[in-house]
Amino acid sequence: MARPPGARAAKTRDATEAQRRRAVEKREALLIAALRVTGECGWQEASIGRISAAAAVSSGTFYYYFDSREELLRQLLPFVFDRLLSEMRAQDPIEASLADFLRQRFTAFSTALSSRPEYLRLLRETKVFEPEVYARSMQALSSNQAALAQQQSASALGKVAHESVELFERLLQSLLISLTEFSAENGGTEAAFIVAREAFVSAVSSTLVQMGVNPTELGSRLGVAQH
């Protein structure tokens, strides 16, 4: 008996979805492998062959997802930033002032980098060996400040739109990366850490004032209590 058209269509959709999931998993496996190989050997030694072997795929599979190492790197940096952001969000304090919330974010970010040396090595070596890729990635993060400002200027009384929160998170990331680098470049001492952390709080606060963002409204969107 022939299957009804609806059943055939459902089977096709299921097969397509399964194929899509496998593609996402393979791409992510390559990104994770690139991060791991960079952490172990450095970016200059992270060849396509090594990355593919670490991901348990062929070099041909690598080229199915990425045109080159540089293309992988352009996608790897946002991938790492998103992972860091997820880890930071998991440690957000429930009851805190916005300033303390920001201090906790900075601490969580620094802790994530220090506990995962492959993250910090990737950032440092990309900045040295692939400065254009690094600069474009940082510019993409920082450009969210302009987008956030535009959204806020169109919002009455500094009310924070839902979309603004995600842009604000990206702005935090670009500041976090810059200031964590400052802390590391100054020996990673506690004094350097405190200077960088407070500079981060000050920079974010100034940005909010410049854009007319209501801190209380932003805090409620972020789930932060205001004291």
Q: Write the DSSP assignment of 132-161 as a string of letters.
A: HHHHHHHHHHHHHHHHHHHHHHTSGGGPPP
CA distance 148 to 104: 22
pLDDT at 35: 95
Give the tens place of pLDDT for each residue, 195-226. Answer: 878 888 887 777 777 666 666 666 666 666 54
Compute the radius of gyration of the chain from its Cα atoms: 21
What's the CATH number of domain 1-66, 2.60.130.10, 2.60.40.180, 3.90.79.10, 1.10.10.60?
1.10.10.60
**Whether the predicted pLDDT of 188 surpasses 70:** no
Q: Is 11 helix (H, G, I), strand (E, B) or coil?
A: helix
Rounded to two decimals, the pTM is 0.72
